[in-house]
């Protein structure tokens, strides 16, 4: 696997001609979006005013129109930038992934199968709708890994039969093989109770969480502050979470700068990083030549695929030889 | 219902809950010690094989090998106390550690597949023991805390519960396992 600086070199050297071409396309699309956007806004505003006048200021009608106009605008915008976005994935993200490690395959339209998400036990309820994209899978140092953007949602229905959707999780979802044998289930979650309610009440709340297995108190104060661990087996949880792995998970969390969920179920390690946005998407309003924008793509990609090396999943020291 | 009766009922419930939590903590310690014990036995079972494989080559380390055998014999005696088991365990860890270091000085041993396999098995068991020890220490800490904290300490005193000792965790165990050093082939 390539390092982040090698990847940056590749981005600015090999991909430079493509980037320049793409930059031209971006400028053109941006102009078109702004032009069409302004005309659309003017037409919509005019029609809106007309409706307001014609319908004797019926606010319902006007609100409905606003909603329809907004939806249509969003669809129109999506349609306009679609070409640019897919060219970006095909010409920039795909070669970057190949450069990172040639054993990786990239499928921009697909995502990690929902069964993995449910099997991970990271969330206690099943999602009602899942979506995602940017599926990457393959082997790194012989360790199978798959990851993608993942969005899991829950449906809610109120008494008036109105349905609404809330996000359970949105971000990167990574599945890989763990380097030790184990039988039970161990789940590592961001510690919300202890940081909100303090040690005493937080600890009590955590030990009385009936939707989870037994609470496991870890002997690393920093880790214990950031995470809460539940497991079916007190000893096995510590067999998996050695002092070294705890430190590495802490480091990984710091690198990603977002809430990290991890679980160890059925021989696999599942990692979920809640970025709360769709990753690896190009915006027509930001230039790809800018260092900051480029580094964000490179870093996220490197962090996601680098999990095998970062957590030493390729070192099968124990019984898994 | 009269107020004093309600107060008595609430008090009884609190005492029952406290009693149950103390018993649960004590049993948790015993349960986890059982898994420590299982892992320790697994390690003791590896020792005759290890001693047999390395003793042909290790002339200068006869004393450590003898000590390991002696420790194993002592650990296999029936009815030894938990404290004694813990003391034997730390001696055994130290002795096995020095054997493993000594193996590095014998190229024939390093290349020996049987020894290599034993090293892997020992590493695996050591990792399991380390995990079990940490779980045990946490259970003991929870138990000892309950023995000292108000209000459970009053009940614990009546029940004659005694504080328990934790495993001394060797500083070297906290360090990262250096794979290169282990398999320096």
Is the peptide bond preceding residue B151 cis, with omega within 30 degrees of 0?
yes
Taking each helix axis from N to C end, the angle separating A291-305 and A4-12, rounded to the nearest 10 degrees, works out to 140
Q: Which residues of B touch A236 (CB under 8 A)?
A: 131
pLDDT at B22: 92
Does the distance separating the beta carbons of A319 and B124 come in below 8 Å? yes
* Distance (Å, whole) CA A148 – CA A135: 4
Interface test with A, best of B31, B38, B128 (most A CBs within 10 A): B128
pLDDT reported for residue B184: 45
State the Cα–Cα distance between residues B102 and B86, nearest whole angstrom. Answer: 25
Contact by Cβ (8 Å): A252, A258: no
Distance CA(A6)–CA(A4), nearest Å, equals 5
Domains, chain B, with CATH or none: 3-182 (1.20.1440.20)
Comparing alpha-carbon positions, the chain A residue that sits nearest to B125 is A318
Q: B142 to chain A, minimum CA–CA distance in Å?
A: 10
Query: Nearest-CA neighbor of B39 among B110, B92, B104, B97?
Result: B92
Residue B115 is predicted with a pLDDT of 85
User: Which chain A residues touch B139 with a CB distance below 8 Å?
Assistant: 234
Cβ contact B138–A315 (<8 Å): no
Verify whether the Cβ–Cβ distance A219 to B176 is below 8 Å: no
What pLDDT does A274 receive? 94
Interface test with A, best of B120, B131, B132 (most A CBs within 10 A): B131
With a cut of 70, which residues of chain A have pLDDT below it? 56-57, 317-321
Q: What is the pTM of this model?
A: 0.84
What does the pLDDT read at residue B165? 87
Residue B163, φ and ψ in degrees, nearest 5:
-65, 150
Residue B25 Cα distances to B6, B32, B148, angstroms: 29, 11, 13
Q: Which residues of A touch B (CB under 8 A)?
A: 180, 216-217, 219, 234-239, 242-244, 315, 317-319, 321
Q: What sign has the CA pseudo-torsion B60, B64, B69, B70?
A: positive
Report pLDDT for B179: 46
Residues of B in contact with A219 (CB under 8 A): 134, 137-138
Strand ranges in A234-320 using DSSP code E only, listed in sequence order:
260-265, 268-273
Are A235 and B32 a contacting pair at CB < 8 A?
A: yes
Q: Is B124 on the interface with A (CB under 8 A)?
A: yes
Name chain B contacts of A313, Cβ cutoff 8 Å: none
Helix (H, G, I), strand (E, B) or coil at A192: coil
Burial class (CB in 10 A: 0-12, 13-18, 19+), A156: exposed
pLDDT by residue for chain B (185 residues), tens only, comes to: 789 999 999 999 999 999 999 999 999 999 999 999 999 988 998 888 888 888 888 877 888 888 888 899 888 888 888 888 888 888 888 888 888 888 888 888 888 888 888 888 888 888 899 999 999 999 999 999 999 988 889 889 888 999 988 887 655 554 444 444 444 43
């Amino acid at each position: 696997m390539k390092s982040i600086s090698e990847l940056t070199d590749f981005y600015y050297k090999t991909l430079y001609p493509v980037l320049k071409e793409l930059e031209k396309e971006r400028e053109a699309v941006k102009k078109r979006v702004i032009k069409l956007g302004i005309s659309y806004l003017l037409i919509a505003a005019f029609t809106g005013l007309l409706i307001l006048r014609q319908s004797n200021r019926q606010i319902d009608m006007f609100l409905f129109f606003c909603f329809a106009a907004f939806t249509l605008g969003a669809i129109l915008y999506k349609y306009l930038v679609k070409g640019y976005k897919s060219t970006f994935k095909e010409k920039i993200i795909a070669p970057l992934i190949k450069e990172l490690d040639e054993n990786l395959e990239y499928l921009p339209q697909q995502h990690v199968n929902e069964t993995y998400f449910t099997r991970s036990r990271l969330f206690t309820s099943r999602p009602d709708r899942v979506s995602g994209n940017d599926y990457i899978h393959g082997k790194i140092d012989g360790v199978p890994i798959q990851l993608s953007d993942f969005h899991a949602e829950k449906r809610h229905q109120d008494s008036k039969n109105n349905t609404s959707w809330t996000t359970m999780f949105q971000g990167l979802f990574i599945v890989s093989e763990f380097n030790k044998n184990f039988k039970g289930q161990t789940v590592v979650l961001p510690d919300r109770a202890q940081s909100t309610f303090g040690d005493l009440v937080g600890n009590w709340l955590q030990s009385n969480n009936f939707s989870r297995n037994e609470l496991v108190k870890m002997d690393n104060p920093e880790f214990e502050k950031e995470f809460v661990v539940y497991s079916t087996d007190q000893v096995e949880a510590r067999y998996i979470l050695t002092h070294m792995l705890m430190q590495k998970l802490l480091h990984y969390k710091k690198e990603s700068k977002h809430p990290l969920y991890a679980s160890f179920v059925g021989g696999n390690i599942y990692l979920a990083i809640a970025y709360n946005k769709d990753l690896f998407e190009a915006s027509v309003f930001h230039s790809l030549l800018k260092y900051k924008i480029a580094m964000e793509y490179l870093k996220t990609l490197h962090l996601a695929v680098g999990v095998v090396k970062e957590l030493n999943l390729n070192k099968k020291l124990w019984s898994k030889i | 219902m009269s107020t004093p009766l309600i107060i008595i009922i609430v008090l009884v419930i609190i005492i029952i809950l406290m009693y149950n939590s103390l018993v649960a903590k004590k049993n948790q310690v015993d349960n986890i010690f059982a898994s420590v014990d299982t892992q320790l036995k697994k390690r003791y079972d590896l020792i005759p094989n290890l001693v047999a494989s390395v003793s042909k080559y290790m002339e200068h380390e006869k004393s450590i090998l003898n000590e390991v055998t002696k420790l194993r014999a002592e650990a296999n005696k029936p009815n030894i106390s938990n404290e004694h088991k813990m003391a034997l365990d730390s001696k055994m860890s130290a002795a096995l550690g020095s054997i493993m270091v000594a193996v590095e000085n014998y190229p024939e041993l390093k290349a020996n597949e049987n020894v290599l396999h034993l090293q892997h098995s020992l590493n695996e068991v050591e990792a399991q023991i380390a995990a079990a020890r940490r779980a045990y220490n946490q259970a003991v800490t929870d138990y000892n805390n309950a023995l000292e904290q108000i209000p459970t300490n009053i009940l614990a005193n009546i029940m004659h519960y005694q504080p328990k000792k934790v495993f001394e965790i060797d500083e070297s165990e906290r360090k990262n396992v250096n794979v290169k050093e282990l398999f320096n082939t």
